[in-house]
Amino acid sequence: MISFVIAIAVLVIGYYTYGKLVENIFGIDTKRETPAIRLRDDIDFMPLPAWRIFLIQFLNIAGLGPIFGAIAGAMFGPAAFLWIVLGSIFAGAVHDYFSGMLSVRHNGLSISEIVGIYLGPKMKHIMRFFTVILLIFVGTVFLMGPAKIIDGMTGNMWNLWVWVGIILAYYILSTLLPIDKMIGKLYPVFGIAMLLMALGLLIALFFGDYQIPELTPANLRNMTTDPKATPLFPILFVTIACGAISGFHATQSPLMARCMQNERLGRKIFFGTMITEGVVALIWAAAAMTFFGNVGGLNEAMLANGNNAAWAANEISLNMLGHVGGILALLGIVAAPITSGDTAFRSARLILSDIFKNDQKKIKNRLYISVPLFIIAFALTQIDFGIIWRYFAWSNQTLATVVLWTITAYLIYEQKMFWITLIPALFMTMVCTTYILIAPEGFQLDNDLAYMGGGILTLIISLLFWYYAVQRKKVFAQLM
């Protein structure tokens, strides 16, 4: 319990200290007119109250990440606490803040366009393709996932595809309508429900008969049933993504960058929501480690139920929170992925509109871009869900890595403290390269060989980046 309380305290302190440092390094301009005001179109660019933006951004970036990812990560033991805290403060929140604020500074541009500004046109084209594919993956995953959950909760009352159709209809509306209609009204309600569910679990952990394992040297190890098959590094750092760092967040931040009324709100909206998500992830990880008796009990229960995090989340909610928990679980476990799926499609629409310079004020222009996205997503529902999810997990962290390198380039060009993103960029590069070499969906190399290969690839990528950044810095210096 002591380690858990300290972990939450460190996250909160991190917001007020490291968050302030990051804000100072960026250099906010409170008198600068934001895109929400300067480019207002009442569709995507629209000033919204700060509290509403906070809740929308929180639900955008959270989804089921801090629930399912935290439960799966808890199978590794208390080491998960360490990654959630350090990842959230020094990687995830920094990643989210700069990706959001650079979008604010560049007229609400999507992340692929921002990458192009700082890493060049070739990388921009790669990122355009990569992010759109990733967002379609997210939309597809969060189309089938909630449909299966609802179908199970209702005792297969209707055919699965009926639920898929209902969710898809909602996605179409939320993608096409102005942001203050469905998203602006529903998201704050679901965001509050998700926070209340986490708060309820926190109270249950404090006042119930639960023993949260401590983070000690003896516990700082891989506690899964087969450590060789699931090595702590890099598997844990991909398993817990949204609760520590996630590239998906960088695709969502521009949505709120187009609604923010003043740059001083950036730390609260971008840095603050990531820290909040980290707290939620900590609570769920702690609940998973204690509800089933201990970490070993969690692993046994997950193995017996096909490693189904949705089942575990439902069991934890119903038993720790009672009937109220059942309602909140329904809202959280069903609404959370749906509200990530719809903004995934909306983000994809905005990225494509940026690429083709297509004005989105007219509904027909939004339809031209959106319809093909939904057709592709529906076609992908025919592919095994597990395959899509596994590739999404790696793609998600790879995107976060590219964004960290982009921010590092920006800081180098601006002669600012670039080490705050260089260190996490190096770490995440090692995570992603090692993961694809070692994972079942990758090259399935021996662990030692994968570590060696990951180290070599990280070194090569770092040297190439440094050479490119030094050359491009000269060009930026001439333009300034």
Note the pLDDT of residue 419: 96
Name the least confident of 30-39, 143-152, 157-166, 257-266: 143-152
Q: Which residues contact 378 (CB under 8 A, 6 or more apart)?
A: 143, 168
Confidence check: pLDDT of 83 > 70: yes
Total Cβ atoms within 10 A of residue 424:
24
The SS3 of residue 128 is: helix
Express each pLDDT in 134-158 by its tens digit.
888 888 877 877 887 788 777 778 8
Mean pLDDT for the chain overall:
90
Reduce the secondary structure of 213-227 to three states and give it as a string.
CCCCCCCCCCCCCCC
Name the least confident of 89-103, 353-367, 406-420: 353-367
Note the pLDDT of residue 51: 95
Total Cβ atoms within 10 A of residue 174:
21
Give DSSP secondary structure letters for 67-80: IIIHHHHHTT-THH
pTM for the whole structure: 0.93
Note the pLDDT of residue 16: 97
Preceding amide of 146 cis, omega within 30 = no
Mean pLDDT of 70-97: 96
Total Cβ atoms within 10 A of residue 470:
10
Name the least confident of 156-165, 241-250, 446-455: 156-165
> What letters, b where the CB count within 10 A reaches 16 and e where it falls short, cover 9-22?
ebbeebbeebbeeb
Q: What's the number of domains the chain is made of?
A: 1
Which residue has tokens 């095994």?
A: 384
Mean pLDDT of 274-282: 96
Residue-number span of the structural domain to which 274 is assigned: 2-479
Note the pLDDT of residue 233: 95
Question: pLDDT band at 449, cuts 50/70/90?
Answer: very high
Name the least confident of 102-106, 187-191, 412-416: 187-191
Confidence check: pLDDT of 478 > 70: no
Confidence check: pLDDT of 280 > 90: yes
Confidence check: pLDDT of 394 > 90: no
Question: pLDDT band at 479, cuts 50/70/90?
Answer: low
CATH of the domain at 67: 1.20.1740.10
Mean pLDDT of 155-183: 89
Confidence check: pLDDT of 337 > 60: yes
Mean pLDDT of 350-365: 90
Note the pLDDT of residue 480: 53
CA distance 22 to 386: 37
Question: pLDDT band at 317, cuts 50/70/90?
Answer: confident
Name the least confident of 70-79, 110-119, 380-389: 380-389
Q: Which residues contact 390 (CB under 8 A, 6 or more apart)?
A: 439, 440, 441
Mean pLDDT of 425-446: 94
Q: Which two tokens stand for residue 190?
A: 């679901």
Express each pLDDT in 38-75 by its tens digit.
999 999 999 999 999 999 999 888 877 788 889 999 99
Note the pLDDT of residue 315: 86
Q: Which class for 137: exposed (0-12), middle (13-18), buried (19 or more C-beta within 10 A)?
A: buried
Express each pLDDT in 96-108 by its tens digit.
999 999 999 999 9
Note whether 367 and 129 are within 8 A (CB).
Answer: no
Given its phi and psi angles, is residue 97 left (phi above 0), alpha (psi -120 to 50 degrees) or beta? alpha
Note the pLDDT of residue 389: 62
Confidence check: pLDDT of 325 > 90: no
Name the least confident of 86-95, 132-141, 151-160, 162-171: 151-160
Q: What angle do CA 86, 87, 90 make, to 5 degrees?
A: 75
Q: How many CA atoms lie within 13 A of 36 on its CB side?
A: 21
Name the least confident of 340-344, 366-370, 389-393, 475-479: 475-479
Identify the residue with better confidence: 407 or 143. Answer: 407
CA–CA distances in Å: residue 265 to residues 31, 184, 256:
12, 18, 11
Note the pLDDT of residue 329: 65
Confidence check: pLDDT of 385 > 60: no
